Structures are given as C-alpha cells and as structure tokens.
Amino acid sequence: MLIHAYVDGELDLLSTVKLEAHLRDCTPCAQAHKNLQTLRSGISSGALYFKAPNHLAGRVHLALQEADHAGASSSASVQEMSRRMPSQRLPKRMWWQFSWAWAGVAAALAMAALVVWRLDPGVSRRSQNELLAQEVLSSHVRSLMANHLTDVPSSDQHTVKPWFNGKLDFSPPVKDLGAEGFPLVGGRLDYLDDRPVAALVYQRRKHFINLFIWPSDSGSGQKTVMRQGYNLFHWTQSSMSYWAVSDLNSSELQEFVHLVQNHTRGAP
C-alpha cells in the first residue's frame, strides 16, 4: 500500500526515503512498483478520458438560463426543469461549442479582464487600445482557425460592398487591390469594440490580411503594434476606425495600409 502512496506523491519525506531504499533491495517490491507505473501510465495516457459531446455545453447553458428565468418568475423545481429539457435543443449561437478546452481558460481570464475593466475607472485609453489590439488579433486568428474567413467570398468589390447593406449601420469602403498585389478575397461580419464591424479579407501570396472597419469619431492618428508574430496597423480616417492585421511582414503590410489609405481618402 505504501508503494501506492509513493507513486501518488502522498508519502512523507521520511517514508519516501525508507521506501526508496527498500525498493532497491527488494525485487518483488521493485517489480510491483514497476507494474504500478506501467498501469498508471496506461490509465492516465488520456485514452480513458471520456470527452464530453460537443453539444453538452450548449445544452447545460440553456438549462441553466431556463432555470434562472424560472427561478425568477416561479419556483418550479429545478429537477423538473431539467427533465423537461429536450436534449436536442441548442442555443442559436453556439460559440460555446467552439472549443471548451479554451473557453474554460478564457472564462477565467474574462473574469479577470472584466474586473479590471469595471473596477478601474482610470483605465486609460491607451490600455483600452491595447485590449482592442488584442481583440483584433484574436478575431484575425479565429477567422483563420475556424475556417470562417469570409461570409461573402468574392474578389469583386461591387459584390462585397453591397453585401454589407442591411447588416451594418454604415457602408465600409471596399476596394479590390488585386492590381497592386493584394487581391480582395471577400468580406465578413465580425464583432469588435462592442459593435458589429466589417471585416475585409485580402491576400498577399499565402498570407491573409484582415481589414476591420467601423465608424469611430474618437481618436486619430496611427499606430503600429507587433504581437505574437503578427503585425497590426491602426488608423482613423474619415471618421472610420481601421485595423489591418496579418502575419505578413511589416513593410508589405505597411504598403497595403498605404494603398487602402490612398483609396479611401477620396472615397465616400
């Protein structure tokens, strides 16, 4: 039994020393120890871990929300509630499903972020910008990861621009820069800075560029950030806030930014 406590790291120091000495001398015990290690490495290899089905998170979330509502209005039994929950019902937006492994960590971080955000009124514009940069970068990475780069895949600016009609309360300037070596790949709706934004996707060789656009009257000027190997450019022009982000090298992205700036200068 001591061997078990030993492999579990639950043995005190003195007993550990004694046991290790004993294991050196006693062949049967040494063999038992070895067997135990074999067994443990097999069990804890992850092969036995039952992965929760993808829909479970959404299902539990929905049940909790419903129980919460029911709890507020009536005192319906929580157990009852769960029985009545059809297992197929899923929430509309299933970004929960996206990945629980990360969402778990994310939730903890979100809590921390929120506390900082809410509790510290002195959070400067600068750090808000930092957070926004992080948000922009995350959107970019997510767009590449989730295989959801574009909602409207088209290199035709006259297809992409009208597509945003009715989806946004502004009309983003869309310009194909294929002639300049940055072909338009398409457009996508995204959500940044607490509002829906336009995301235009451009390509340079194998690199994708996300150009996020939304109206903003605050702030001006330009800003360059390098994060985790990604380059981010931010500027404000004609009351629009722009963020360009890509893994493209800084000078080429700069070139792209200039092109966009030139094209949008006179544009509506």
Binders in 204-263 for other proteins, by CB under 8 A = 227-230
**Backbone φ, ψ for residue 57 (5° rounding):** -60, -45
- The nearer residue to other proteins, 138 or 261, going by C-beta atoms, is 138
Shortest spacing between CB 41 and other proteins, in angstroms: 7
Shortest spacing between CB 173 and other proteins, in angstroms: 25
Number of H helices, E strands in the chain: 10, 7
* Alpha-carbon gap, residue 163 to 179, rounded angstroms: 22
Shortest spacing between CB 238 and other proteins, in angstroms: 26
Shortest spacing between CB 54 and other proteins, in angstroms: 11
Select from 97, 134, 154, 171 the one that contacts other proteins (CB under 8 A): 134
Select from 15, 167, 191, 265 the one that contacts other proteins (CB under 8 A): 191
Select from 113, 223, 238, 239 the one that contacts other proteins (CB under 8 A): 113
22-38 as b/e: b if 16+ CB within 10 A: ebeeeeeeeeebeeeee
Site string for other proteins, 147-186 (x = CB under 8 A): ----------------------------------------
Angle formed at CA 28 by CA 25 and CA 33, multiple of 5 degrees: 90
* Alpha-carbon gap, residue 25 to 71, rounded angstroms: 64
- The nearer residue to other proteins, 132 or 185, going by C-beta atoms, is 132
- The nearer residue to other proteins, 87 or 262, going by C-beta atoms, is 87
* Alpha-carbon gap, residue 106 to 100, rounded angstroms: 9
**What torsion do the CA atoms of 88, 107, 66, 69 make, to the nearest 10 degrees?**
-170
* Alpha-carbon gap, residue 118 to 20, rounded angstroms: 53
Shortest spacing between CB 4 and other proteins, in angstroms: 4
Asked whether position 8 contacts other proteins by CB under 8 A, the answer is yes
Q: What is the pairing mode between strands 184-192 and 152-153?
A: antiparallel
Give me the amino acid identity at 45.
S
Bridge partner residues of 215 (DSSP): 240
Shortest spacing between CB 2 and other proteins, in angstroms: 9
Total binding residues for other proteins by CB under 8 A?
Answer: 75
Site string for other proteins, 53-72 (x = CB under 8 A): x--xx-xxx-xxx-xx----
Site string for other proteins, 18-37 (x = CB under 8 A): ----------x--xx-xxx-
Shortest spacing between CB 64 and other proteins, in angstroms: 6
* Alpha-carbon gap, residue 219 to 133, rounded angstroms: 14
